[in-house]
Chains A and B, each alone.
Chain A
Amino acid sequence: MSGLASLILTNVRRNLARTTLTVVGMGLAALIMTASLTLSEGYPAAAYEAYRSYLGGDILIYAEKIWVRGSDINQSESGTWQFARLTADVPGPAGFFQPHLAAGGYLRPSAAPKGFFSQDAVRELAARLAAAGLAGAVRPYFTLPAAKTEFAGGTGTGFGGSRPDAAVGASPYVYTDSYLRAWDTGDGWPSLAPFVVAGRSLGAADEGRLVCLVDATRGKLAQLPGMDFPPEVPRVGETLRVLLPRLSVDLAGQPRLDYIGAVWVELEVVGHYAVPTREATWIPPGRGEGGATEPEAEQLYLTSPEIIIPWDTAEALLDVVSEGAADLWASALAVEVGSLARVESAVTALAKLFPDLGPVSVPRQAAVANAHWLPEPVFRVPESEWRSAQPSGQVGEPVRISAAFNMIFFAIAALLAAANAIVLVLERQREIGILKAIGASSREVMLMVLGEVVLLSSLGAAGGFVLAEAMAVWNLISNGTPALAVLLFVGSDMARVLGLTVSFALVFGLLPAMRTTGMTAMEVLRKE
Chain B
Amino acid sequence: MGLVISYPRSGLSPGPILIARELYKAYFLGKTVYAVNNVDLTVMPGEFLVVLGPSGSGKSTLLSLLAGLDRPISGEVILDGHVLTSLNENQLADMRRRKVGYVFQFFNLVPHLTAYQNVSLPITLTGAPDWFVAQRAAELLDLVGLAGRRGHLPAQMSGGEQQRVAIARALANEPRIVFADEPTGNLDSRTGGQIRSLFRELNRDFGQTFVVVTHDERFAEAADRVLRLIDGRLSLVAGVEESRS
Cross-interface CB contact of A14 among B90, B96, B112, B122, cutoff 8 Å: B112
Q: In which size bucket is the chain A interface?
A: 20 to 34
In contact, A520 and B127 (Cβ under 8 angstroms): no
In contact, B90 and A521 (Cβ under 8 angstroms): no
Binds B, one of A33-41, A51-59, A430-438, A462-470: A430-438
- In this complex, the member of A436, A439, A441 whose beta carbon has the largest number of chain B beta carbons within 10 angstroms is A439
A442 contacts chain B at the CB level, 8 A cutoff: yes
Given known contacts A522-B64, A522-B70, A439 and B96 CB-to-CB distance under 8 angstroms:
yes
A268 contacts chain B at the CB level, 8 A cutoff: no
Chain A residues with CB below 8 A from B127, complex form = 3
Nearest B residue to A13, CB-CB? B112
In contact, A525 and B100 (Cβ under 8 angstroms): no
B149 contacts chain A at the CB level, 8 A cutoff: no
A15 contacts chain B at the CB level, 8 A cutoff: yes
Given known contacts A3-B124, A444-B125, A439 and B93 CB-to-CB distance under 8 angstroms:
yes
A523 contacts chain B at the CB level, 8 A cutoff: yes
In contact, B90 and A10 (Cβ under 8 angstroms): no
Interface residues of A (CB under 8 A from B): 3-4, 6-7, 10-11, 14-15, 430-431, 433-444, 520-523, 525
Cross-interface CB contact of B125 among A15, A431, A438, cutoff 8 Å: A438
In contact, B69 and A520 (Cβ under 8 angstroms): yes
Can you name 5 extra interface pairs (CB under 8 A) apart from A442-B89, A520-B70, A520-B71? Answer: A10-B113, A438-B102, A439-B173, A441-B90, A521-B69
Given known contacts A520-B71, A521-B69, A441 and B108 CB-to-CB distance under 8 angstroms:
no
In contact, A11 and B112 (Cβ under 8 angstroms): yes
B110 contacts chain A at the CB level, 8 A cutoff: yes
What are 8 A-B pairs at a CB distance below 8 A? A430-B108, A434-B110, A438-B97, A438-B125, A441-B89, A441-B93, A441-B94, A442-B90
B200 contacts chain A at the CB level, 8 A cutoff: no
B85 contacts chain A at the CB level, 8 A cutoff: no
In contact, A439 and B97 (Cβ under 8 angstroms): yes
In contact, B125 and A437 (Cβ under 8 angstroms): no
B98 contacts chain A at the CB level, 8 A cutoff: yes
Chain A residues with CB below 8 A from B97, complex form = 438-440
Chain A residues with CB below 8 A from B90, complex form = 441-443
Nearest B residue to A521, CB-CB? B69
Min Cβ gap B82→A in Å is 14
In contact, A3 and B125 (Cβ under 8 angstroms): yes
In contact, B121 and A7 (Cβ under 8 angstroms): yes
B208 contacts chain A at the CB level, 8 A cutoff: no
Nearest B residue to A17, CB-CB? B112
In contact, A439 and B108 (Cβ under 8 angstroms): no
Q: Which residues B94-112 have CB closer than 8 A to chain A? A: 94-98, 100, 102, 104, 108-110, 112
Interface residues of B (CB under 8 A from A): 64, 69-71, 89-90, 93-98, 100, 102, 104, 108-110, 112-113, 117, 121-122, 124-125, 127, 133, 169, 172-173
Chain B residues with CB below 8 A from A3, complex form = 124-125, 127, 133
In contact, A525 and B98 (Cβ under 8 angstroms): no
Chain B residues with CB below 8 A from A6, complex form = 124
Chain A residues with CB below 8 A from B112, complex form = 10-11, 14-15
- In this complex, the member of A3, A14, A15 whose beta carbon has the largest number of chain B beta carbons within 10 angstroms is A3
In contact, B93 and A442 (Cβ under 8 angstroms): yes
Chain A residues with CB below 8 A from B172, complex form = 438
Min Cβ gap B152→A in Å is 13
Min Cβ gap B134→A in Å is 12
Min Cβ gap A386→B in Å is 59
In contact, B124 and A437 (Cβ under 8 angstroms): no
Cross-interface CB contact of B121 among A14, A438, A525, cutoff 8 Å: A438
Nearest A residue to B172, CB-CB? A438
Nearest B residue to A3, CB-CB? B124
In contact, A440 and B93 (Cβ under 8 angstroms): yes
In contact, A7 and B169 (Cβ under 8 angstroms): no
In contact, A438 and B124 (Cβ under 8 angstroms): no
Chain B residues with CB below 8 A from A521, complex form = 64, 69-70, 96
Cross-interface CB contact of A438 among B64, B96, B117, cutoff 8 Å: B96
Nearest A residue to B91, CB-CB? A441
Chain A residues with CB below 8 A from B125, complex form = 3, 438-440, 444
Chain A residues with CB below 8 A from B94, complex form = 439, 441
In contact, A437 and B108 (Cβ under 8 angstroms): yes
Nearest A residue to B106, CB-CB? A525
Nearest A residue to B71, CB-CB? A520
Chain A residues with CB below 8 A from B102, complex form = 437-438
Min Cβ gap B104→A in Å is 8
Nearest A residue to B124, CB-CB? A3
A-B pairs with lowest CB-CB distance, top 9:
A439-B97, A3-B124, A14-B112, A522-B70, A441-B93, A439-B96, A522-B64, A521-B69, A522-B69
Compute how far the CA of A420 lies from the CA of B110 in the bound complex, rounded to whole angstroms. 21
Min Cβ gap B166→A in Å is 10
Cross-interface CB contact of A439 among B71, B100, B133, cutoff 8 Å: B100
In contact, A437 and B96 (Cβ under 8 angstroms): yes
Compute how far the CA of A238 lies from the CA of B64 in the bound complex, rounded to whole angstroms. 103
Min Cβ gap A429→B in Å is 12
Chain B residues with CB below 8 A from A434, complex form = 108-110
Given known contacts A3-B125, A443-B90, A444-B125, A438 and B169 CB-to-CB distance under 8 angstroms:
yes
Min Cβ gap A521→B in Å is 4
Nearest B residue to A441, CB-CB? B93
In contact, B117 and A10 (Cβ under 8 angstroms): yes
Chain A residues with CB below 8 A from B96, complex form = 436-439, 521
Min Cβ gap B185→A in Å is 15
Nearest A residue to B107, CB-CB? A434
Compute how far the CA of A227 lies from the CA of B88 in the bound complex, rounded to whole angstroms. 86
In contact, B108 and A14 (Cβ under 8 angstroms): no
Cross-interface CB contact of A431 among B93, B110, B173, cutoff 8 Å: B110
- In this complex, the member of A14, A438, A443 whose beta carbon has the largest number of chain B beta carbons within 10 angstroms is A438
Compute how far the CA of A435 lies from the CA of B125 in the bound complex, rounded to whole angstroms. 9
Compute how far the CA of A7 lies from the CA of B125 in the bound complex, rounded to whole angstroms. 10
Chain B residues with CB below 8 A from A520, complex form = 64, 69-71
In contact, B69 and A437 (Cβ under 8 angstroms): yes
Cross-interface CB contact of B108 among A7, A10, A442, A525, cutoff 8 Å: A525
Min Cβ gap B140→A in Å is 13
Min Cβ gap B132→A in Å is 11
Nearest B residue to A14, CB-CB? B112
Chain A residues with CB below 8 A from B108, complex form = 430, 433-434, 437, 525
